Copies of this chain bind each other. A is one copy, B any other.
Amino acid sequence: MQKKYLTIYDDLVKKIKGKEIPVNTMLPSENELTVQYETSRETIRKALNLLSQNGYIQKIRGKGSIVIDVHKFSFPVSGIVSYKELSKQLHLSSKTIVQELGFIKEDEEIGKELDTTLEHVWKVIRTREISGEKIILDKDYFNNQQVPILTKDICENSIYEYIEGQLGLTIGFAQKEIVVEEPTEEDRRYLDLEGFSNIVVIKNHVYLEDTSLFQYTESRHRPDKFRFIDFARRIQG
Protein backbone atom coordinates (compact mmCIF):
# COMPACT_ATOMS: atom_id res chain seq x y z
CA MET A 1 0.00 0.00 0.00
CA GLN A 2 1.32 3.39 -0.95
CA LYS A 3 1.22 5.89 1.83
CA LYS A 4 -1.59 8.35 1.35
CA TYR A 5 0.06 11.31 3.03
CA LEU A 6 3.14 10.89 0.85
CA THR A 7 1.17 10.84 -2.38
CA ILE A 8 -0.66 13.97 -1.23
CA TYR A 9 2.67 15.58 -0.36
CA ASP A 10 4.12 14.65 -3.73
CA ASP A 11 1.06 15.97 -5.50
CA LEU A 12 1.21 19.29 -3.70
CA VAL A 13 4.95 19.61 -4.33
CA LYS A 14 4.30 19.01 -8.03
CA LYS A 15 1.60 21.68 -8.07
CA ILE A 16 3.82 24.17 -6.26
CA LYS A 17 6.79 23.51 -8.51
CA GLY A 18 4.57 23.66 -11.58
CA LYS A 19 3.20 26.98 -10.30
CA GLU A 20 -0.30 25.62 -10.38
CA ILE A 21 -0.34 26.92 -6.83
CA PRO A 22 1.70 30.13 -7.08
CA VAL A 23 4.06 31.54 -4.52
CA ASN A 24 2.51 33.82 -1.91
CA THR A 25 -0.94 32.33 -2.31
CA MET A 26 -2.83 30.33 0.26
CA LEU A 27 -3.27 26.60 0.01
CA PRO A 28 -6.85 25.36 0.36
CA SER A 29 -7.74 24.94 4.02
CA GLU A 30 -7.19 21.60 5.68
CA ASN A 31 -10.90 20.92 5.61
CA GLU A 32 -11.11 21.65 1.89
CA LEU A 33 -8.14 19.39 1.26
CA THR A 34 -9.81 16.52 3.10
CA VAL A 35 -12.65 16.82 0.61
CA GLN A 36 -10.37 17.16 -2.42
CA TYR A 37 -8.25 14.15 -1.51
CA GLU A 38 -11.08 12.21 0.14
CA THR A 39 -9.17 11.55 3.34
CA SER A 40 -9.04 12.55 6.98
CA ARG A 41 -7.71 15.81 8.35
CA GLU A 42 -4.83 14.12 10.19
CA THR A 43 -3.57 12.66 6.93
CA ILE A 44 -3.71 16.09 5.30
CA ARG A 45 -1.84 17.54 8.26
CA LYS A 46 0.95 14.99 7.88
CA ALA A 47 1.39 16.04 4.27
CA LEU A 48 1.34 19.74 5.18
CA ASN A 49 3.88 19.26 7.95
CA LEU A 50 6.21 17.65 5.43
CA LEU A 51 5.75 20.62 3.12
CA SER A 52 6.52 22.95 6.00
CA GLN A 53 9.62 21.05 7.07
CA ASN A 54 10.98 21.06 3.55
CA GLY A 55 10.43 24.76 3.05
CA TYR A 56 7.50 24.77 0.66
CA ILE A 57 4.90 26.41 2.86
CA GLN A 58 4.57 28.45 6.02
CA LYS A 59 1.69 27.50 8.26
CA ILE A 60 -0.03 30.28 10.18
CA ARG A 61 -2.41 29.40 12.94
CA GLY A 62 -5.90 30.63 12.39
CA LYS A 63 -5.16 31.68 8.83
CA GLY A 64 -3.83 28.92 6.65
CA SER A 65 -0.73 27.86 4.71
CA ILE A 66 1.17 30.21 2.42
CA VAL A 67 3.36 28.95 -0.39
CA ILE A 68 6.85 30.40 0.07
CA ASP A 69 9.49 30.79 -2.59
CA VAL A 70 12.54 29.73 -0.68
CA HIS A 71 12.82 26.52 -2.58
CA LYS A 72 13.65 28.02 -5.92
CA PHE A 73 17.21 28.76 -4.78
CA SER A 74 17.77 25.25 -3.61
CA PHE A 75 21.19 23.88 -4.22
CA PRO A 76 20.88 21.25 -1.56
CA VAL A 77 24.16 20.02 -0.34
CA SER A 78 21.90 20.07 2.65
CA GLY A 79 20.46 16.78 3.80
CA ILE A 80 22.01 13.61 2.53
CA VAL A 81 22.08 13.64 -1.22
CA SER A 82 24.43 11.73 -3.43
CA TYR A 83 26.49 13.52 -6.04
CA LYS A 84 24.64 11.77 -8.82
CA GLU A 85 21.23 12.83 -7.56
CA LEU A 86 22.55 16.33 -7.13
CA SER A 87 24.02 16.73 -10.59
CA LYS A 88 20.85 15.30 -12.08
CA GLN A 89 18.75 17.84 -10.23
CA LEU A 90 20.91 20.70 -11.41
CA HIS A 91 21.40 19.36 -14.94
CA LEU A 92 25.14 19.64 -14.64
CA SER A 93 27.32 18.00 -17.22
CA SER A 94 29.89 16.41 -15.02
CA LYS A 95 32.37 13.59 -15.09
CA THR A 96 33.50 11.28 -12.32
CA ILE A 97 37.02 9.89 -12.40
CA VAL A 98 37.97 7.04 -10.09
CA GLN A 99 41.52 7.75 -8.95
CA GLU A 100 41.99 5.04 -6.37
CA LEU A 101 40.02 1.96 -5.35
CA GLY A 102 41.16 -0.59 -2.80
CA PHE A 103 41.62 -1.33 0.88
CA ILE A 104 43.25 1.07 3.33
CA LYS A 105 46.59 0.35 4.88
CA GLU A 106 46.83 -0.67 8.50
CA ASP A 107 48.05 2.65 9.79
CA GLU A 108 45.32 4.96 8.55
CA GLU A 109 43.33 6.64 11.31
CA ILE A 110 39.94 6.05 9.82
CA GLY A 111 40.14 2.31 10.38
CA LYS A 112 39.51 2.73 14.07
CA GLU A 113 36.41 4.82 13.62
CA LEU A 114 34.71 2.34 11.34
CA ASP A 115 35.37 -0.11 14.15
CA THR A 116 35.99 -3.01 11.89
CA THR A 117 37.74 -5.58 13.98
CA LEU A 118 40.49 -6.84 11.73
CA GLU A 119 38.30 -6.37 8.70
CA HIS A 120 39.27 -4.53 5.58
CA VAL A 121 38.03 -1.03 4.85
CA TRP A 122 37.30 0.12 1.33
CA LYS A 123 38.85 3.38 0.22
CA VAL A 124 37.62 5.16 -2.87
CA ILE A 125 39.05 8.39 -4.20
CA ARG A 126 37.16 10.14 -6.97
CA THR A 127 37.46 13.50 -8.65
CA ARG A 128 34.43 15.36 -9.96
CA GLU A 129 35.03 17.33 -13.10
CA ILE A 130 32.66 20.13 -14.02
CA SER A 131 33.08 21.87 -17.37
CA GLY A 132 36.61 20.61 -17.74
CA GLU A 133 37.85 21.55 -14.27
CA LYS A 134 38.56 19.13 -11.47
CA ILE A 135 36.65 20.84 -8.68
CA ILE A 136 35.79 18.22 -6.08
CA LEU A 137 37.78 15.43 -4.48
CA ASP A 138 35.65 12.75 -2.83
CA LYS A 139 37.22 10.31 -0.42
CA ASP A 140 34.92 7.49 0.69
CA TYR A 141 35.53 4.79 3.27
CA PHE A 142 33.29 1.75 3.69
CA ASN A 143 33.36 -1.24 5.95
CA ASN A 144 33.66 -4.33 3.76
CA GLN A 145 31.48 -6.35 6.09
CA GLN A 146 28.59 -4.25 4.89
CA VAL A 147 29.87 -3.60 1.37
CA PRO A 148 31.65 -6.76 0.24
CA ILE A 149 32.10 -5.88 -3.42
CA LEU A 150 32.94 -2.55 -4.99
CA THR A 151 33.95 -2.10 -8.61
CA LYS A 152 35.21 0.77 -10.72
CA ASP A 153 31.91 0.68 -12.58
CA ILE A 154 29.89 1.20 -9.44
CA CYS A 155 32.12 4.03 -8.31
CA GLU A 156 31.80 5.80 -11.63
CA ASN A 157 28.05 5.74 -11.31
CA SER A 158 26.38 6.11 -7.94
CA ILE A 159 27.64 4.19 -4.94
CA TYR A 160 24.47 5.11 -3.08
CA GLU A 161 22.30 3.65 -5.78
CA TYR A 162 24.26 0.42 -5.47
CA ILE A 163 24.05 0.40 -1.68
CA GLU A 164 20.37 1.17 -1.35
CA GLY A 165 19.27 -0.59 -4.51
CA GLN A 166 21.45 -3.68 -4.82
CA LEU A 167 22.63 -4.29 -1.30
CA GLY A 168 19.33 -3.27 0.27
CA LEU A 169 20.90 -1.27 3.08
CA THR A 170 18.90 1.63 4.49
CA ILE A 171 20.64 4.88 5.31
CA GLY A 172 19.35 6.36 8.53
CA PHE A 173 21.07 9.63 9.28
CA ALA A 174 24.29 11.52 8.93
CA GLN A 175 26.46 13.88 10.89
CA LYS A 176 27.86 16.53 8.60
CA GLU A 177 30.72 18.89 9.38
CA ILE A 178 32.05 21.70 7.25
CA VAL A 179 35.48 23.17 7.85
CA VAL A 180 38.12 25.01 5.87
CA GLU A 181 41.57 23.47 5.65
CA GLU A 182 44.84 23.97 3.85
CA PRO A 183 45.20 21.81 0.76
CA THR A 184 47.15 18.59 1.18
CA GLU A 185 49.60 17.13 -1.28
CA GLU A 186 46.80 14.84 -2.42
CA ASP A 187 44.47 17.78 -3.06
CA ARG A 188 47.10 19.44 -5.23
CA ARG A 189 47.70 16.25 -7.13
CA TYR A 190 44.11 15.50 -7.99
CA LEU A 191 42.45 18.92 -8.24
CA ASP A 192 42.86 22.02 -10.39
CA LEU A 193 43.51 24.33 -7.47
CA GLU A 194 44.80 27.33 -9.41
CA GLY A 195 46.63 28.81 -6.49
CA PHE A 196 43.83 28.69 -3.99
CA SER A 197 45.32 28.40 -0.53
CA ASN A 198 42.23 26.96 1.17
CA ILE A 199 39.91 24.06 0.60
CA VAL A 200 36.42 23.49 1.94
CA VAL A 201 36.01 20.06 3.48
CA ILE A 202 32.66 18.42 4.13
CA LYS A 203 33.12 15.53 6.52
CA ASN A 204 30.28 13.10 6.69
CA HIS A 205 29.60 10.26 9.07
CA VAL A 206 26.81 8.15 7.62
CA TYR A 207 24.86 5.73 9.78
CA LEU A 208 22.50 2.94 8.84
CA GLU A 209 18.99 2.54 10.14
CA ASP A 210 20.28 0.27 12.91
CA THR A 211 22.56 3.14 14.02
CA SER A 212 25.80 1.40 13.05
CA LEU A 213 28.43 3.62 11.48
CA PHE A 214 28.59 2.66 7.86
CA GLN A 215 30.59 5.20 5.93
CA TYR A 216 32.93 8.09 6.35
CA THR A 217 33.23 10.59 3.55
CA GLU A 218 35.27 13.66 2.88
CA SER A 219 34.18 15.88 0.06
CA ARG A 220 36.88 18.43 -0.66
CA HIS A 221 35.83 21.46 -2.69
CA ARG A 222 37.71 24.29 -4.30
CA PRO A 223 36.49 27.31 -2.32
CA ASP A 224 35.31 29.39 -5.26
CA LYS A 225 33.01 26.61 -6.41
CA PHE A 226 31.64 25.73 -3.02
CA ARG A 227 28.14 26.70 -2.01
CA PHE A 228 25.96 25.36 0.74
CA ILE A 229 22.30 26.25 1.03
CA ASP A 230 20.10 25.27 3.88
CA PHE A 231 16.57 25.87 5.00
CA ALA A 232 16.06 26.27 8.71
CA ARG A 233 13.06 26.63 10.93
CA ARG A 234 13.16 28.48 14.18
CA ILE A 235 12.90 26.11 17.08
CA GLN A 236 11.29 27.74 20.07
CA GLY A 237 12.78 27.13 23.45
A residues whose Cβ falls under 8 Å from a Cβ of B: 10, 24, 53-55, 58, 60, 66, 68, 70, 73, 78-80, 170-180, 196-198, 200, 207, 209-211, 223-224, 226-235, 237
- Beta-carbon contact of A180 and B207 below 8 Å: no
- Beta-carbon contact of B200 and A197 below 8 Å: no
A183 to chain B, nearest CB (A): 12
This chain's copy number in the assembly? 2
Q: Given the interface contacts A197-B197, A198-B198, does A176 sit within 8 Å of B230 by beta carbon?
A: yes
Residues of B within 8 A of A171 (CB): 234
- Beta-carbon contact of A211 and B24 below 8 Å: yes
Residues of B within 8 A of A170 (CB): 234
Q: Given the interface contacts A171-B234, A172-B234, A234-B172, does A177 sit within 8 Å of B211 by beta carbon?
A: no
Q: Given the interface contacts A180-B223, A197-B198, A198-B197, does A68 sit within 8 Å of B232 by beta carbon?
A: no
- Beta-carbon contact of B80 and A233 below 8 Å: yes
| CB-nearest residue of chain B to A71 | B175
